[in-house]
Amino acid sequence: MSVDDSRFAAAQRTAASRRGTKAGRLKAWLVIVPTLALFGTALVGGASAFGKTDYGATARKLPPGALVLVSAQDGGSWLQRLTSSGKELCAVTPAQMTQVAAHYDVSYVTVTMDGRDVRIAKVSGTGANDHDMRVYLGDARLTCKFVREGGVFFLPFDPNIS
Amino acid sequence: MSKRERAQAAIYAGLFVLVLTSGALFLSQFAGSATFWKHFTLGYLVLLLLYTCYLFALLFVNDLRPDSYPLYAGEKIAVLIPCFNESPELLEHAVRTICAARGRKQVIVIDDGSTNGARGYLAEYERRFDITVHYFLENKGKREALHYAVTHLLDDDVEFVVTIDSDTVLEPDALIRVVEPLKAATIGAATGNVLLLNEEQNVLTRMIGTYYWVGLNIYKQAQSVIRSVVCCSGCLAAYRAPLLREIIDEFANQRFLGERCTHSEDRHLTNLVLRQGYDVVYVEDAVSWTETPATLRGFLRQQRRWKRGYIRESIYTLSYAWRNKRLLFMQVLFWDLTAPFLSFGLRVALVVTAIRLPALVFTTILPSWIALMLIRYIFIPLRAREKLVGLFLYMLFYEACLYWLNLWALLTVKNTSWVTRQQSAQV
């Protein structure tokens, strides 16, 4: 259709029935309101978790034992590494825990998991990473999991209608 | 410098402070503590949520109680068509459809110093159609054209003045639909719906078609509920004639930070109406058709000009709206004007994240971004499903390019060049 034709066609049109019925428009709000509520919850929930490390979720994936928090050095999939806080939580036996406490600088944090308080030993100083700790404890099969960090990965988009 | 000009300069400076603060907060997370940055992010998102709820509430009110206005009863309407180097075919079509449109009319064409031989064909149209044509010897700009028409050419018995662009096509009842709200004593101006003649031309025009749809059916519609539409589009706008006569001198002589203003005259005229305490509404059923730039270069030029006008006129709004349009004042202060600059740090953070962790772009950023986009613009999947692809493209384009144009516009807000009017009529 040439420009002239489309102009001619436009000049013949009328606005009749462009809006739709009032009932039809109001019905849409049955979808809009719950979606907006979900949006609000996701937005504020996601933002308040921003930067927080989720020890509880990580600990649940580990076998029973004492928990030690170390820096992540290697291992894991690329996605795990990209979305982790750069730390790993490892499950050790009580005997290994004694060894760790004797070798590293250790401080403790308490987190709530499934309604009960769980103590985590945070190790620091030279060699406070999963690789060196495995070597030190002589346990290559020590189970460690990446600790995920909450992030806000969306845009504050709003096209200005100017 | 008047008190209003000093206030405008202070608000303008404040926008730079916002950008710098947002950037500094982003950097603060690398200087030891991320506390300020986290609180800022949370605060911004709460603001985004509140604004979205506010917008949706207004749209709900509109669906629940759509506006209805008194019927047109033969009042005289003056139609002003400023033109500059418009093609004979397009102008003839515009004039013909306006003359054929319903309503008692005085049609005035002001040739703004065209250099494409317009005198010849305009003289011919003057013989063929019932129109008045006035010629400027040199290009003076749209403001001067409107000013001259209102002060020298309007018939005394004109009650409403409608301004349209020279490449606009009106639907047959658009003229009377757009002036009907003006029969209510409190309404000073009204603007109509704008559809694109060339929306199907290419990917860019489809994207722009969505941009127009969102602008009109979400933003302008919501503004209409609080009777404070901030821009009566140059494509189709109606004003009370006595009100226009009152404000037209000030309109023609607008200055910002000492510079004479040339573009975004439609927004300023609307601002002046709102400042006088009148309401401004949007009429969805008053439909005009226009063409949009079909090239990226043309669109970006137009956007540069519009964004400068957006900043300048939003600042102007803040200088008066607290007295008579408080909801509008709050809306402009807490979102419309400030959000693009407040979010500067967040956008830099996103770019940095995307560069440092490119895998996240596809696994996390893009999916959550699309989900949130569909929620914030839920009216598109519900009411204009055919524009979904255009919405997606537009949002990507906005984040990658148009957002950053806001910063450029902030730096160059005093620039007065029209840019797209060099060769032909404005788009």
User: pLDDT for A58-74, tens place per residue?
Assistant: 888 888 888 888 877 65
The pLDDT tens digits of the residues spanning B139-166 come to 999 999 999 999 999 999 999 999 999 9
Minimal CA separation from B83 to chain A, in Å:
18
Give me the pLDDT at residue A18, please: 62
**Is residue B278 classed as helix, strand or coil in its secondary structure?**
coil
Mean of the per-residue pLDDT values of chain A: 77
Q: How many CB atoms lie within 10 A of CB B186?
A: 10
Low-confidence ranges of chain A (pLDDT < 50): 1, 153, 161-162
What is the secondary structure of A47-91 as a DSSP string?
Answer: HHTTT-B-HHHHHHTSPSSEEEEEE--S-S-HHHHHHEEEEEEEE
Q: Is the dihedral of CA B55, B58, B64, B65 positive or negative?
A: negative
Confidence of residue B56 (pLDDT cuts 50, 70, 90): very high
Q: Which of the residue ranges A130-139, B77-86, B91-100 has the most confident prediction, judged by mean pLDDT?
A: B77-86
Find the range with the poorest average confidence among A46-50, B152-156, B304-308, B374-378. Answer: A46-50
Q: Which residues of B touch A159 (CB under 8 A)?
A: 211, 214, 394-395, 398, 402
- Neighbouring residues of B57: CB distance < 8 A, sequence distance ≥ 6: none
- Neighbouring residues of A15: CB distance < 8 A, sequence distance ≥ 6: B171, B173, B174, B177, B193, B284, B285, B286, B287
ipTM: 0.79
Mutate to test the interface with A, among B39, B93, B267, B291 (most CBs of A within 10 A): B93
Give me the pLDDT at residue B296, please: 95
Q: Could you tell me which chain B residue has the CA closest to the CA of A32?
A: B378
Angstrom CA distances, B79 to B178, B179, B403, stand at 12, 11, 36
Give me the pLDDT at residue B302, please: 92
In chain B, residues 37-96 whose CB comes closer than 8 Å to chain A: 38, 41-42, 44-46, 48-49, 52-53, 56, 60, 63-64, 66, 89-90, 93
Rounded Cα distance between B248 and A122, Å, is: 72
Answer whether B172 sits within 8 Å of A8, measured CB to CB. Answer: no
Rounded Cα distance between B267 and A33, Å, is: 33
Give me the pLDDT at residue A55, please: 81
Q: Could you tell me which chain B residue has the CA closest to the CA of A29?
A: B60
Answer whether B373 sits within 8 Å of A18, measured CB to CB. Answer: no
- Higher-pLDDT residue of B94 and B420 is B94
**Is residue B355 classed as helix, strand or coil in its secondary structure?**
helix
Answer whether B170 sits within 8 Å of A28, measured CB to CB. Answer: no
The pLDDT tens digits of the residues spanning B264-291 come to 899 999 999 999 999 999 999 999 999 9
Angstrom CA distances, B426 to B85, B93, B254, B263, B270, stand at 10, 16, 20, 10, 18
How many residues comprise chain B?
A: 427
Answer whether A83 sits within 8 Å of B353, measured CB to CB. Answer: no
Q: Can you tell me the mean pLDDT for B159-175?
A: 93
Q: How many CB atoms lie within 10 A of CB B210?
A: 24
Rounded Cα distance between A32 and A12, Å, is: 35
B100 to chain A, any CB pair closer than 8 A? The answer is yes
Confidence of residue B424 (pLDDT cuts 50, 70, 90): very low
Give me the pLDDT at residue A40, please: 83
Rounded Cα distance between B132 and B385, Å, is: 43
Write out the two tokens for B111.
């040739």
Strands B237-240 and B169-170: unpaired
Confidence of residue B425 (pLDDT cuts 50, 70, 90): very low
For B133-240, where are the alpha helices, taking DSSP H only? 142-148, 174-179, 203-214, 221-225
Minimal CA separation from B152 to chain A, in Å:
30
Strands (E), B52-121: 76-83, 104-111
